[in-house]
Amino acid sequence: MIPRPEYPLPQFERQNWVNLNGQWQFLIDNGDSGREQDFQNTAPFDQEITVPFAPESDLSGIGHKDFMNAVWYQRTITVSEADLKQVLRLHFGAVDYEAHVYVNGVEVGTHRGGYSSFFLDIQDACTPGDNRLTVLARDPMRAQAYPHGKQSHVFYSQGCDYTRTTGIWQTVWLEKLPVAHLASVNYAPNIAAPAVTLQLKVTAPGTVHAAIAYDGVACGEGDVAIAGTTGSVTIPLSEKHLWEISHGRLYDVTLTFGEDEVHSYFGLREVAMNNGQFLLNGQPVFQKLVLDQGFYPDGIYTAPSDDALKNDIALSQACGFNGARLHQKAFEPRFLTHCDEAGYIVWGEMASWGLNVAKADAPLWFLPEWEEVMARDTAHPAIVTWCPLNETWDIDGHQQNNDVLALIYHTTKAIDPSRPVVDTSGNFHVITDIYDVHNYEQDPAKLKEKFDGSKQPNGHFWDEHDARQQYAGQPINVSEYGGIKWVPDADAQNRAWGYGEGPKDEADFVARFKGLADVLLDDADVYGFCYTQLYDVEQERNGLYYYDRTPKFDVAQFKAALDRPSANETK
């Protein structure tokens, strides 16, 4: 059975495709000398790997945990004469970090960036029958300062860094499509009309027909004649179904462009910030988020199944959260689709750790990949905030280059002006739509002192980084707090990591959870929070669930603690 058999891009789905997951030949090239040795033609493959699982993972069948500077993959793909008259598009969900792709020994393209998707059109390199597909993935983590998120930069996982991911870690697939085809679609909903504007890109002039339905009932259609490669059309909707918290009401869209047909969807919703509140469809909503890092015991970065992705959302909702901050990782599109379906709000983030923001050339390592991630994900209604960077600490005594953060903020805002943007979550803010802070105070009484605006020198709230960042009246979110440590097994005590001193028993844990949440829910100037975290990850033991997703306690207690109005919503 092919692992992860689902179509990887539910918002841009075609029917004529082949899943290339499964068994590939595999080789570790620690000297990164394979190209010099002509491995694209003569690699001495000595192992097999199960794609799309990284070689560090158990599900890959390799389980190699040490650093791998380069790895090679190979398999055969079969194409027909008819296929070669079309565009033969080879897709990679994600390859960490630098991919070189060969067909029959000829390099057909490269890509840099471990979290964004990419494709290559390979028909010119193929011949009828069997063709040799070879992939080199270079991942010299210790040699270059590129974004790698929470992947440990030393051999052992430690603190809040975990097992690394090298090479292919999302689905690989082959798509057959006409020469003139749709390239992309984005949506601009208007809830008042109601209507939606489709922003379209195609590869040649022509007419796109869009048919919209809700729950199988047609409710809008339109045509747009495109003279070049871009065009837009606004389509009135005969039925109004708002996308809301816990109600992911989605409209289905069928796009037809000549011989090409794409199935897509959108949510009718609008987000805004006003008077220190987060507004969803014009109504204040308190963001009760949980930190989700997207790690799995057997697949590391890659969920073992599509159901595992869905389950993480269900586990969060069972605790009373209405969304998640997707932390230090660009999550795969199928997870975002499940968020869309569940009415589950999320912050879209990049795996920025590893990037040296003290250097002026940091945008060269960051922005191309971040722009690709945004282009892929911006149509998901579940994403309500963009957060490109996290905790831009000093590196080797050098402070961040503020121009770097400003450039990343402005670029993000220019690509998508419809959502608020956080320049760097926690610290050190330069220009931001949201002033978010991280606070891991474990005593609710002490936390309350810090969030009592009347007692604070900056006129609003306590901020340990006042010397480096200044509050300027933006809406406030406590985007990391809690982190309550729970390590019942004595053998893990020495290696376990978490915040502060753990509670003595379950009652103490639940009381602390409720007390910390109450402080933030009672502050009328705080519009949302993000609890750290949903589940343990390796040695970091501050989840509400264990790493295998079994609950530590009856999660109904957490749901009960969060099931109350906030002062911000009702002010």
| Tally of domains within the chain | 3
In this structure, are 252 and 321 located in the same domain?
no
Q: Each residue of 248-287: pLDDT tens digit?
A: 999 999 999 999 999 999 999 999 999 999 999 999 999 9
Q: Which structural domain, as residue segments, surrounds residue 44?
A: 17-177
Cis peptide leading into residue 25 (ω within 30°): no
Measured CA to CA in angstroms, residue 232 lies from 49, 227, 245, 260, 359 at distances of 44, 11, 29, 18, 39
State which of 206, 239, 268 marks the end of a domain: 268
Is 107 among the domain residues? yes
* Three-class HEC string of 230-256: EEEEEEECCCCCECECCECCEEEEEEE
Which percentage of the chain shows pLDDT scores above 70?
Answer: 98
Provide the pLDDT confidence category of residue 454 given band limits of 50, 70 and 90.
Answer: low
Q: What is the mean pLDDT of residues 379-384?
A: 98
Supply the pLDDT for residue 498. 87
Distance CA 410, CA 438 (A): 23
CATH number reported for the structural domain that contains residue 276 in this entry: 3.20.20.80
In this structure, are 434 and 328 located in the same domain?
yes
In this structure, are 422 and 469 located in the same domain?
yes
Q: Each residue of 137-152: pLDDT tens digit?
A: 999 988 778 999 999 9
Q: Each residue of 292-331: pLDDT tens digit?
A: 999 999 999 999 999 999 999 999 999 999 999 999 999 9
Angle made by CA atoms 77, 83, 85, in degrees to the nearest 5: 140
In this structure, are 226 and 361 located in the same domain?
no
Which percentage of the chain shows pLDDT scores above 90?
Answer: 91
Measured CA to CA in angstroms, residue 380 lies from 81, 170, 185, 265, 405 at distances of 37, 19, 11, 9, 25
State which of 117, 144, 177 marks the end of a domain: 177
Is 526 among the domain residues? yes
Q: Each residue of 475-502: pLDDT tens digit?
A: 999 999 999 999 988 667 778 888 888 8
CATH number reported for the structural domain that contains residue 201 in this entry: 2.60.40.10
Is 11 among the domain residues? no
DSSP structural state of residue 151: B
In this structure, are 40 and 85 located in the same domain?
yes
CATH number reported for the structural domain that contains residue 159 in this entry: 2.60.120.260
In this structure, are 316 and 414 located in the same domain?
yes
Is 98 among the domain residues? yes
In this structure, are 251 and 292 located in the same domain?
no
Mean pLDDT of the chain: 96
- Between 449 and 209, residue with greater pLDDT: 209
